Amino acid sequence: MALSPAVVKELDAALAALEAADPASAGPRWGAMHKAMLKAKFDPQALMRIVGARDLDAMRHAVRQAKGEVVDAADGDPGSAAGAAPEVPLDVMQDALRMFRKRLKLSQLDADSKIGHGPTSGTGQHRIQSMVPPRDFPAAVWEALVRAGKLRREGDGFYSIIEQPGGAHW
C-alpha cells in the first residue's frame, strides 16, 4: 500500500525536525514522529520500541521502510543480526547495573510500605521482580548487560536481575 504524498511529507518533516533537535529536549519531536509513523500504518509495537529507546538510526530505517524504500541488511539496519552491537565500557555497565539494583530495591521497599500488605490483610506480599531500566543510560547499555548475563529481558521494556551463583555481582 503506497502512502499518500501528504503522509510522506509529514514523515520527512518530522524526521528532519527530530534530527535537528537537541537530544535533551527532543521529547515533543519524538511524539510528533510517533504520530506520523502511526498515520503511515507502521507496526505499533516496533514503533514503541524505537521511540522508547530514542534510537534515531532505527527511526531513520523505519521511515524508509514505511515509505516503501528498499532496505537491505547491508544498508545499516539497526535491527539486523549482522550489525555489530556497540562496545560498552565495563565501568559504564557496572554503574548502570548498580543504579538498576538500587532503583529495584527502592521500588520493592516502596511497594512493601503500602497499606494492604501483612498477615491480616490476606493479600500477601508481592515482590517486584522486574522494572523498566532508568533512562540515565542508553538502551545499548542495558542490552550489553543482557549479553553479559547480568540482566534478563522480560518483555515490553522490562528487565530483571539474574542472580549470580555464590552472590558474585560482577
pTM > 0.85: yes or no: no
pLDDT value at residue 27: 85
> What is the bridge-based pairing of β-strands 130-131 and 151-155?
unpaired
pLDDT at 120 over 70: no
Question: CA-CA distance, 16 to 64, in Å (whole number)?
Answer: 13
Instruction: Read off the pLDDT of residues 61-116 as tens digits, 9 standing for 90 and up.
Output: 888 888 877 555 444 444 444 445 678 899 999 999 999 999 999 988 888 777 66
Number of residues that make up the chain: 170
What proportion of the chain, given as a percentage, has pLDDT over 90?
Answer: 21
Q: Hey, what's the cell of 61?
A: 530505517
> pLDDT band for position 133 (50/70/90)?
very high
Position with higher pLDDT, 135 vs 112:
135
Q: What is the DSSP letter of 25?
A: G
List, in order, residues 6 or more apart from 116 with CB less than 8 Å away.
123
